[in-house]
Structure 1
Amino acid sequence: MKTLVKLLLTAIAVILLGYLLPGASVTPFMTALLVAVVLALLRLIVKPILVVLTLPITVLTLGIFLLVINAIIILLADCFVTGFEIDGFWWALIFSLFLSLFQTILFALIKEE
């Protein structure tokens, strides 16, 4: 149940970012929900592989390179989901930063005690 709530909150954050950022667009809510599912799957499957492959540069940059990996995940979601558009790498980076911020705030609201 908690996973479904997190997916819905991520979809809401994606919709908000689609309206707030000029370099990102999401058309209907169902597309945002699909983006949330695709992002969850990409973070589950692709992100650990990318982290292991880029471990030396991640250590060298003290973890800052993980922001680039998050932007790559956003760009991959852009490729897979029709109706979700990101206008380039820098918009993907900004989108991933704000999405992480929104998710941190929204997920803190549903945290169990």
Structure 2
Amino acid sequence: MTRFIIRLLINALALGIAAQLVGPGISYDGWQAVLIVAFIFGLVNAVIRPILTLLTCPLIILTLGIFTLVINALMLLLAGNIAEALGIGFRVDGFGPAFFGGLIISIVSFFLSVFVRDDAERTRAA
């Protein structure tokens, strides 16, 4: 449960940073919206992303993995559309902002995950 909360907070922070850096292309109304969208984004990544990755495996191989950036953008765009449909104050205004937002989220999440590891991972790494 602690790991889930940590991942949720990492995603929320990454979403907030992406919204600040991308500017008007990604917007939100308060940190409550970002936390809710982080949960939605996590669900979308857990359920839909593996299916989409499997279906686009030839493209991922052909582009040497760069197509995963497109998948990241589509997952962010989908999470933004779900949030907008539910009336949560979070918007992603098209593929371009979603692409750059997905790239920023991936980078921020990676670095935060490196610094925030749980005890089980630390004992395995040692």
Establish whether TM, by shorter chain, passes 0.5: yes
Pairs aligned (count): 113
State which of 84, 100, 110 in structure 1 corresponds to 2:116: 110
State which of 81, 90, 93 in structure 2 corresponds to 1:87: 93
TM-score, L = length of structure 2: 0.83
Moved more, 2-11 or 72-81: 2-11
Aligned position for 2:6: 5
TM-score, L = length of structure 1: 0.92
**Correspondence list, 1:1-113, <5 A:** 1-22=2-23, 23-81=25-83, 82-112=88-118, 113=122
Q: How far apart in 1 are the matches of 2:73 and 2:103? A: 9
Q: What are the Cα deviations for residues 8-64 of structure 1, in whole angstroms up to 9, with x where unaligned?
A: 121122122222221111111111111111111111110111111111211111111
- Percent identity over the alignment? 35
**Contact preservation (8 Å) 1:14, 1:26:** no
The one-letter code matched in structure 2 to 1:79 is N
Unaligned runs of 5+ in 1: none
Compare CA radii of gyration and give the structure with the larger one.
2
The one-letter code matched in structure 2 to 1:41 is L
SS in 1 for 2:27: strand
Structure 1 residue 95, shift from structure 2 partner = 0.2
Runs of 4+ with deviation above 2 angstroms: none
Let me know the Cα RMSD of the aligned residues: 1.2
Q: How far apart in 2 are the matches of 1:5 and 1:57? A: 32
Q: How far apart in 1 are the matches of 2:29 and 2:17? A: 11
Q: How far apart in 2 are the matches of 1:19 and 1:57? A: 31
